[in-house]
């Protein structure tokens, strides 16, 4: 069956277009609308959603490197959907068994709570994110001691092989989100004071008031960053463009040669979210046996969103020929 891959940034401020200039907002909205129309035309039977969390549903009390959600719900932070997701539990269970057999260890959850790192892209691309048949694949991108980038590539490849060989009846959208250069106002564990470390370990009970306070703080940080002020690391369009060039060329090997420290130095703490792109492109490459066509590519540095905003969409040769 044909397949598509779509990777895009998922900054929490994406639901606040008033932070952008009118010209920025119109341009980004047009690109997202183009991707949304393409996804609607493709009408996937299944979405494999590669994403992460921002110390919202997951905490350092127990932080998996990788996790496949068998059942999941969403927090609703930053104006995103707050509902149970339509997880294809049958596919997720079979996928986990395959991954273990392929030497890729993943945790599982029957009650995963995800924030905008999983659901923002679903919200932007579908009319009802909660109705999309999905298998959420979580990677630790923000917590302490992240897995090396090459393991995200191995994870994605194993997922692509499973769907290609075992579920050829399904039209699949491999959807990754996060990054690109992105330094959100979140604490770093090793340098945080003891009381903040305790909160990162124990997690937070998210009330409406707590979510509103966090949203207001991030919006303020976005306005400050947009003025070129504040402590957050500047966006890095050169690194972002290099990444987009590598993804466009299918050159994941060059990307995964970067260490975690190199990624943070180049792209900020949120630059670590390129792991989701790596896994999505690796899965798509295995599924389509390396045959693909880039249908859409977009980039714009958006300091007020604290995001080097990128988007790439590609189809298999079968899908291109079918159109």
In CATH, what number is assigned to the domain containing residue 307? Answer: 3.40.830.10
Low-confidence ranges of the chain (pLDDT < 50): 321-323
Each residue's pLDDT tens digit, 46-75: 999 999 999 999 999 999 999 999 999 999
Catalytic pick among 10, 54, 182, 225: 182
Q: Is 192 helix (H, G, I), strand (E, B) or coil?
A: coil
Beta strands 72-74; 112-114: pairing state: parallel
Q: Look up tokens 């693909």; give the residue.
A: 292
Residue 225 falls in the annotated catalytic set: no
Go through 19-37 and write b for each residue having 16 or more CB atoms within 10 A of its CB, e for each that does not. bbeeebeebbeebbeebee
* Residue from 179, 180, 178, 172 nearest 286 by CA: 172
The residue from 98, 116, 225, 293 that is catalytic is 116
Q: What's the token pair of residue 208?
A: 């409406």
Say what the pLDDT of residue 26 is. 98
Report the b/e string of 293-310 with b at 16+ CB within 10 A. Answer: eebeebbbbbbbbbbbbb
Give DSSP secondary structure letters for 21-60. -HHHHHHHHHHHHHHHHHHHHH--SEEEEEE--SSSS--T
Dist. CA 104–CA 9, nearest whole Å: 26
Q: What angle do CA 310, 124, 246 make, to 5 degrees?
A: 20
Backbone φ, ψ for residue 49 (5° rounding): -100, 110
Q: What's the CA gap between 80 and 223, in Å, rounded?
A: 20
Rounded distance between C-alpha atoms, residue 203 and residue 138, angstroms: 17
Give the structural domain span for 100. 3-322
When computed from its CA atoms, the radius of gyration of the chain, rounded to whole angstroms, is: 18
Answer for the pair 20, 305: CB distance below 8 angstroms, yes or no. yes
Tell me the two tokens of residue 167.
Answer: 């579920």
Q: Judge residue 178's burial from the number of C-beta atoms within 10 Å of its C-beta, 0-12 exposed, 13-18 middle, 19 or more buried.
A: buried
* pLDDT at res. 119: 98
Position 318 scores a pLDDT of: 58
DSSP structure class, residue 270: G
Question: Which tokens hold the place of 254?
Answer: 């060059």
> Are the beta carbons of 83 and 75 closer than 8 angstroms?
no
Structural domain total, the chain: 1
pLDDT of 124-183, one tens digit each?
Answer: 999 999 999 999 999 999 988 999 999 999 999 999 999 999 999 999 999 999 999 999
* CA 168 vs CA 1, 5, 165: distances in Å: 6, 16, 6
Eight-state DSSP code of residue 13: G
CA 121 remoteness from chain centre: 8
Extract the tokens encoding 38. 């393409």
pTM: 0.96
Dihedral over Cα of 239, 245, 248, 250: its sign: negative
- DSSP per residue, 113-168: EE-HHHHHHHHHHSS-GGGS-EEEEEE-SSSSSPPPHHHHHHHHHHHHHHHHHH-T
């Amino acid at each position: 069956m044909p397949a598509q891959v779509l990777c895009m940034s998922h900054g929490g401020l994406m639901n606040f277009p008033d932070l952008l200039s009118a010209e920025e907002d119109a341009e980004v909205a047009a690109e997202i609308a183009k991707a949304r129309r393409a996804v609607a035309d493709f009408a996937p039977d299944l979405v494999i959603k590669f994403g992460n969390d921002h110390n919202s549903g997951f905490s350092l009390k127990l932080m998996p490197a990788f996790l496949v959600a068998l059942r999941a719900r969403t927090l609703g932070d930053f104006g995103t959907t707050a509902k149970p997701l339509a997880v294809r539990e049958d596919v997720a269970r079979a996928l986990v068994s395959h991954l273990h057999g392929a030497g890729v260890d993943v945790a599982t959850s029957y009650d995963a709570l995800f924030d905008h790192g999983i659901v923002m892209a679903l919200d932007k691309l579908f009319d009802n994110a909660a109705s999309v048949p999905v298998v959420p694949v979580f990677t630790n991108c923000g917590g302490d001691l992240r897995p090396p980038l090459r393991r995200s590539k191995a994870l994605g490849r194993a997922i692509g092989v499973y769907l290609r060989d075992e579920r050829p009846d399904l039209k699949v959208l491999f959807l990754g989100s996060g990054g690109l250069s992105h330094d959100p106002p979140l604490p770093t564990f090793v340098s945080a004071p003891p009381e903040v470390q305790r909160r990162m370990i124990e997690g937070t009970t998210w009330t409406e008031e707590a979510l509103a306070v966090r949203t207001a703080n991030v919006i303020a940080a976005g306005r400050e960053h947009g003025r070129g002020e504040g402590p957050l690391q500047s966006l890095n369009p050169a690194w972002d463009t290099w990444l987009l060039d590598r993804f466009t060329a299918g050159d994941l090997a060059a990307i995964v040669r970067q260490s975690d420290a190199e990624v943070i130095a180049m792209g900020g703490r949120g630059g670590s979210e390129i792991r989701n792109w790596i896994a999505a492109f690796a899965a798509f490459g295995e599924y389509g046996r390396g045959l693909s066509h880039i249908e859409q590519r977009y980039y714009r540095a958006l300091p007020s969103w604290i995001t080097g905003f990128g988007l790439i969409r590609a189809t298999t040769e079968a899908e291109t020929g079918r159109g």
